[in-house]
A and B are shown apart, each in its own frame.
Chain A
Amino acid sequence: MVESSSSCAIETINLNMTYRSGKVDVPALQNVNVSVERGEFVAVVGPSGCGKSTLLHLLGGLMQPTGGSVILDGIDISKLTDSERTAIRRKKIGYVFQRFNLLPTLSAKGNIELAKKIQGNGYLSPNGVDQILDMLGLANKINFRPAELSGGEQQRVAIARAVINRPAIILADEPTGSLDSRNSRIVLQVLRDLNEKLSQTIVMITHDPEAASTANRVIEMKDGQIIDAPSVLYCEPDFENSVGNP
Chain B
Amino acid sequence: MENLIAANIRSRPTRTFISILAVALGVTLMLVIGGITNGWLNEYLGRTIAVGADFIFQPPGSSVFYAFSDAELPIKLANKLQEVPGISAVTPVLSKFSMAQFGLIFGIDLESYSKFPGRLHIISGKPSLKDDEVIVDQLYAETKKLSPGMPLTILNHNFTVTAICRPGSVVRVFAPLKTLQKLIGTPDRVTIMFMKAEPKSNVDAVFHELRRRFPDNSIIQASDPNLLLADTRLPGLKEFRITLIIVSMLLSFMVILLAMYTTIFERTREIGILKSLGASRRFIVGMILKESAIICCLGALLGIGISEIARKIIVTKFPTQPVAIGLNDLILGLILGLLAGTMGAIYPAYKAARMDPVRALTYE
Query: Would B358 and A62 count as touching, CB distance under 8 A?
Result: yes
A106: contacting residue among B3, B272, B275, B278, CB under 8 A: B3
Task: For A101, list chain B residues within 8 Å (CB).
Answer: 269, 272-273, 276, 361
Taking the nearest CB of chain A, how far is it from the CB of B112, in angstroms? 74
Q: In chain B between 97 and 115, which residues have their CB closer than 8 angstroms to a CB of chain A?
A: none
Q: A81 vs B277: C-alpha distance in the bound complex, in angstroms?
A: 17
With A62-B358, A83-B281 known to touch, is A105 a contact of B4 (CB < 8 Å)? yes
Task: For B280, list chain A residues within 8 Å (CB).
Answer: 83, 86-87, 90, 121
Q: Determine the main DSSP class of B at the interface with A.
A: helix
Q: Does A93 sit at the interface, judged by CB under 8 A? A: yes
Q: Does A149 sit at the interface, judged by CB under 8 A? A: no
Q: A106 vs B7: C-alpha distance in the bound complex, in angstroms?
A: 6
Q: Does B68 sit at the interface, judged by CB under 8 A? A: no
Task: For A106, list chain B residues within 8 Å (CB).
Answer: 3-4, 7
Query: Of B4, B11, B275, which is in contact with the most chain A CB atoms at under 10 Å from its CB?
Result: B4
With A103-B270, A104-B11, A105-B11 known to touch, is A115 a contact of B1 (CB < 8 Å)? no
Q: A63 vs B283: C-alpha distance in the bound complex, in angstroms?
A: 19
Q: A203 vs B273: C-alpha distance in the bound complex, in angstroms?
A: 19
Binary A-proximity of B278-314 (CB < 8 A = 1, otherwise 0): 1111010010000000000000000000000000000
Number of interface residues of A (CB under 8 A): 30
Query: Of B3, B10, B275, which is in contact with the most chain A CB atoms at under 10 Å from its CB?
Result: B3
Taking the nearest CB of chain A, how far is it from the CB of B4, in angstroms? 6
Query: Would A118 and B7 count as touching, CB distance under 8 A?
Result: no
Q: Does B128 sit at the interface, judged by CB under 8 A? A: no
Query: Would B358 and A118 count as touching, CB distance under 8 A?
Result: no
Q: In chain A between 116 and 170, which residues have their CB closer than 8 angstroms to a CB of chain B?
A: 117-119, 121-122, 161
Q: A87 vs B7: C-alpha distance in the bound complex, in angstroms?
A: 25
Q: A62 vs B274: C-alpha distance in the bound complex, in angstroms?
A: 12
Task: For B8, list chain A residues within 8 Å (CB).
Answer: 105
Query: Would A103 and B4 count as touching, CB distance under 8 A?
Result: yes
With A101-B269, A101-B361, A105-B7 known to touch, is A118 a contact of B276 (CB < 8 Å)? no
Query: Would A97 and B278 count as touching, CB distance under 8 A?
Result: no
Residue numbers of B with Cβ under 8 A of A are 1, 3-4, 7-8, 10-11, 269-270, 272-281, 283, 286, 357-358, 361
A to B CB contacts below 8 Å, 10 in the list: A62-B361, A63-B358, A86-B275, A89-B278, A90-B280, A102-B273, A103-B270, A104-B11, A105-B8, A106-B4
